[in-house]
Amino acid sequence: MADFALTPDPPYTAVIFTSRRTSADDQGYAAAADRMEELAAQQPGYLGIESARDDKGFGITVSYWADETAAASWRSVAEHREVQRLGRESWYEHYAIRVATVGRARTYPTA
């Protein structure tokens, strides 16, 4: 997926996930990433997701949530937790997660 999230007017929560992939298990990783996008979209308070990874394995995924509670609930969904464990075990060399409150937003062309 590579598209813009259609988020409502702020405030809302953004979870910025920055990561560098290992070279391991591309297929398993891709399947899990697709499944996580599908599962996230079913959670209460989900607003959208944006994701890009370059050809060197560096990627940024930003998921948007109605509030911090919704973001925290997604973090603790059992199937997601298992994928987080696999991520640390196999797929990611390094990652950073930042939870932020979006206060202002604009687009070009304007929406």
Report, in Å, the least distance between residue 58 CB and its own copies.
4
CB 94 to its own copies: min, Å: 7
Report in angstroms the alpha-carbon separations of 75 from 32, 108, 111.
15, 31, 30
Residue written as tokens 């920055």?
18
Q: How far is the CB of 69 from its own copies (least distance, A)?
A: 13
**Site residues (vs its own copies, CB under 8 A):** 2-5, 7, 10, 14, 16, 18, 20, 50-56, 58-60, 62, 68, 88, 92, 94-109
Q: Any residues with CB less than 8 A from the CB of 28 and at least 6 apart, and which?
A: 86, 90, 91
